[in-house]
A = this chain, B = another copy of it.
Amino acid sequence: MPAAKTVTAAVLLIGNEILSGRTQDANLNHIAKGLTEVGVKLAEARVVPDIEGEIVDALNALRGKYDYVFTTGGIGPTHDDITAACVAKAFGVAIHRHPEAVKLLEAAYEPGKLNEARLKMAETPVGAELVRNAVSAAPGFRVENVYVMAGVPAIMRTMFDEVKHTLAGGPPMISRTVATALPEGAIAEGLGAVQETHPDIDIGSYPFFRQGGFGVHVVLRGADEARLDLAVRAVVDLLAALGGEGTEVA
């Protein structure tokens, strides 16, 4: 069975506030779920501070390695918003006020309110294509395979949902989960054997701790529904053979 090419992506979260612990990131999980839906494999994520050299280095490492890169944060009007300048530097192009973005901002602000700081939100690398959002006038943008989005979750989500369906994904990964009360240490050997006989299925084991006891979620992921089904049945049979029970959960 020739496998379709896997389409990969990375996420780059830009912002001191996540690294200081002030903010619990909410963007990565939303992007991860959305990419999975459209058949794009999120292969790596990084969080970097608002430092030009760190952002440029991470952008260049990720955009060369993966099909898509999604950044969040650092596109507002203040001095600590340096993402657009960093993307321009990473691509070796100049930064300019994107004419279309200027028009969006002009339409959003009363006369006299569109000051220099706000016009900074119209700055993009030369050649960028805008990514609009439904919440605010300030757009995100795309340069080649890099999508630059806001950090505020409500805005980031409308931007990501705008571009999600334009991505050229592979066959979407289907995920199935089998829950058991058997401990991980009791199923590990058998589960490893199931993984070996189903190499095209990605089998993960995730212990959870609840009501004073451990249980395990066995998560099986693959693009081929029939082959995934065989692997799920193998796991359920294994758990029964070990004297336990495997229940498929949503």
A207 and B151 alpha carbons, distance in the complex (Å): 9
Given contacts A80-B204, A195-B79, A24 and B29 within 8 Å (CB-CB): yes
Task: State the Cβ distance, A56 to closest chain B Cβ, in Å.
Answer: 14
CB contacts (< 8 Å) of A206 on chain B: these are 17, 23
The residue that A32 contacts in the complex, of B18, B76, B195, with Cβ under 8 A, is B18
Supplied contacts A19-B44, A80-B195, 4 more A-B pairs, CB within 8 Å: A21-B35, A44-B48, A44-B54, A152-B208
Some 26 contacts from A to B, beta carbons below 8 A apart, are: A16-B221, A17-B206, A18-B45, A20-B36, A20-B221, A21-B32, A21-B42, A25-B28, A28-B47, A43-B49, A43-B54, A44-B48, A45-B46, A45-B47, A77-B185, A78-B191, A79-B188, A79-B195, A80-B195, A115-B188, A117-B185, A117-B186, A117-B188, A117-B189, A118-B185, A120-B188
